[in-house]
Structure 1
């Protein structure tokens, strides 16, 4: 009987495997609530890091409806800050996290090994999150972009103010036309979809970077969430342009109903004031400027004055 000779080469080898630390990234859409979702997994070692983000965040709409737009925006901003922190502090960003968004947290750190950092992250994301679908299961699902969800919120909000401001300023000073976003220049009411999850900025001039939004008394909760999204867009650009444009100011120009509008009830006025106070607080936290104004003309003249300074 012939004997069978086996060597170590006949068995799978883990010699080329990667050892790394990994941690889940969690987000709580409701401040102060214990309810959390795993929205990503971070893997890191001495050679670098990798972030596997959830690719089915649209499922949050099943729980939060229209409010999911703001939650998705917050998650994206949280990841942007986390990536920058990892670049600067490596594993320190996981051991002593400093999240920029409320409700965005890093879970317990564990050790693992796999073919690559990407492989480890995808494996644990599959095991821990209902907001993630592995690429090999459904490639079509991977084409879904978080940013398209955000675009539906901005573009489908029915806010015509950005287009009206563009028309007003362009009529007064045609030379400022190139500073407005392309979709405003093309009068695309649906707003062009973002590419590569880029923030939407209405106006980016030589002295002013601005977004325009309306705080609507008839839909205070919905418009409040969309205004926050426009603030986050400004903050994202401000962080990216740090040390590049010292002379530019970042402002959200907000049209709100006049305080003496007879069609607004006392209850509605109180809701508006409360929303404004919260928005101003968030703008201050990000070193942005929020300018509430009553009319389109005031907003348009503000832009003209800023660029003429």
Structure 2
């Protein structure tokens, strides 16, 4: 008996699309190659799921990996433009997207979305990728409890930065990249939210409704920054990194705040500012996720200073 796909019921709520791996050949003329992305295209548009652990190439190529990483970033930008203007016609097997970057075998697939289709194959095929569960699966656990249990700020900052400079997402902590909050690991383990080549930062939300718990959490995160800064100093000589505690807090002119709440927030910021000065690093108080993301991008040289 001959069987075909028509003999099987089709899952509800799925989409079909064409997908292909995107290969990077770091050494021109060599058959060695890595999968740096999976591109999926269909009637709903397209999605490119890029490798989120490209820093692993540095283990193989050292400083020379920077050229390959640049080629990967430029090539994926070129591919996004081509898919946006040409649709599925831009996904052609063997197409050279950029020097050393090409499209692999094109296949058909089905999933709940083009994004899920690309994520599934990327997770199955690439050693330069860590599968990240969707935001709906965020765990409600934290090593800090209290105010930290509902603080999604680090995840929101990650999502904002990924849209502008995907490679910077590799410098966020593993727990933030996996969209889950850290479980209790004991007091001896420090927690750093972002550790880039030029900036090390922790994030926390300071709200009037949970001020006492939030201040306690921020102080612990500041202590972790101090420990990391001291560890960095032991690694000299190198270009020193900046260390910052970045706080999200409502602006003073917010109509949702009372005069008493504004006064308490100012007192908390003053107290935290004095501690940061004693410890020798910067305390930044910002009022929007894009503002925090811009600070990271500027520090790492991804956008010019205004």
Higher alpha-carbon Rg: 1
TM-score (ref. length: structure 1): 0.49
TM-score (norm 2): 0.49
